[in-house]
Amino acid sequence: MGAVTATLLDGKATRDEIFEDLKTRVSALAARGVVPGLGTVLVGDDPASAAYVRGKHSDCAKVGITSIARQLPGDIGQAELDATIDELNTNPECTGYIVQLPLPKQLDENSALERIDPSKDADGLHPVNLGRLVLGTPAPLPCTPRGILHLLRRYDVPIAGANVVVVGRGITVGRSIGLLFTRRSENATVTLCHTGTRDLAAEVRRADIVVAAAGVPGLITPEMVKPGAAVVDVGVSRTEDGLRGDVAPGVDEVAGWLSPNPGGVGPLTRAFLLTNVVERAERIAADLASTPS
């Protein structure tokens, strides 16, 4: 084994900084009579999804956000899911919520996402909010892409003018981070890769920043990475050897920066979920202050 050259981007330490800021903002909201509340809708008993949702609620407890957990059986129909979504849309304690994905196969994910009140969409995945992201108007941003950008900035990785290669065009990560990186405020040049990409290795080799969000263990090998590049490992796969990221061992001996998995963007995904919930509560507080009673 050679020497590690990459600066490791520490997602947990960065998450802790964000939590400190959120605690202050939640206290300020409490003083104005507004308590942020995160809702989660979990359908079925997939252990990984249940663990993610538990993690989100334990984060809420750390920051002072109320938790509203809705657990539904795995064999429900769309009407029962719709009823839970409608209840959270009108529940004033819930200032933002998510429907945990993936949903069991008899349920329609897009129709569930579209039923969420866009102003309560803590994931930033409602079509209205994705549309606002395309237009460049204010909206809750998707949490993982926001976390990736925050982590790169936190470690002073140059973004303006960079060649960014994103592997994966999924809505939660790949497609939406391409939209963020090409805003004028980021000014990066983005290539989105997928299973139809002719020569993935050649694309990745040109990249100053690689975002690996395919969910294929070890897809990005050391030979594919330009020396000194920043590599962000987002994909998660369950294998016989436990959880594996999309980035193969040894990339840390070539890259200039590496966001490891675990310990990289995962904690920030959760931190920006809470940030979206606090930001909505701050808008509610501002509206209360400006509305004569």
Ligand X SMILES: NC(=O)C1=CN([C@@H]2O[C@H](COP(=O)(O)OP(=O)(O)OC[C@H]3O[C@@H](n4cnc5c(N)ncnc54)[C@H](OP(=O)(O)O)[C@@H]3O)[C@@H](O)[C@H]2O)C=CC1
Ligand Y SMILES: Nc1nc(=O)c2c([nH]1)NC[C@@H]1CN(c3ccc(C(=O)N[C@@H](CCC(=O)O)C(=O)O)cc3)C=[N+]21
Instruction: List residues near ligand X by CB under 6 A.
Output: 144, 167-170, 172-174, 193-197, 200, 213-216, 219, 234-236, 265-266, 269
Widest CA span in the chain: 68
CA-nearest of 144, 118, 95, 112 to 43 is 112
Residue whose C-beta lies closest to ligand Y: 266
Q: How far apart are CA 209 and CA 188, in angstroms?
A: 10
Applying the rule CB under 6 A, the residues between 3 and 32 that interact with ligand Y are: none
Please give the positions annotated as active site: 56, 100, 123
**Residue (68 or 193) nearer to ligand X, CB:** 193
**Residue (29 or 152) nearer to ligand Y, CB:** 152
Is 44 annotated in a binding site? The answer is no
Is 265 annotated in a binding site? The answer is no
Helix (H, G, I), strand (E, B) or coil at 53: helix
Is 170 annotated in a binding site? The answer is yes
Tokens of 24: 């202050």
**Residue (147 or 256) nearer to ligand Y, CB:** 147
Q: How far apart are CA 220 and CA 218, in angstroms?
A: 6
Q: How far is CA 263 from the centre of its chain?
A: 14
Q: How far apart are CA 218 and CA 2, in angstroms?
A: 18
Give φ, ψ of 119 to 5 degrees.
Answer: -75, -15
Is residue 101 at the binding interface for ligand Y, with CB under 6 A as the rule? yes
Q: Show the binding pattern over residues 242-271: x = contacts ligand Y (CB under 6 A), - = does not.
A: -------------------xxx--xx-xx-
Is 131 annotated in a binding site? The answer is no
The answer to whether the CB of 19 falls within 8 A of the CB of 271 is yes
Binding region for NADP(+): 168-170, 236
Interacting residues toward ligand Y by CB under 6 A: 52, 55, 98-101, 123, 143, 172, 236, 261-263, 266-267, 269-270
Binding region: 168-170, 236
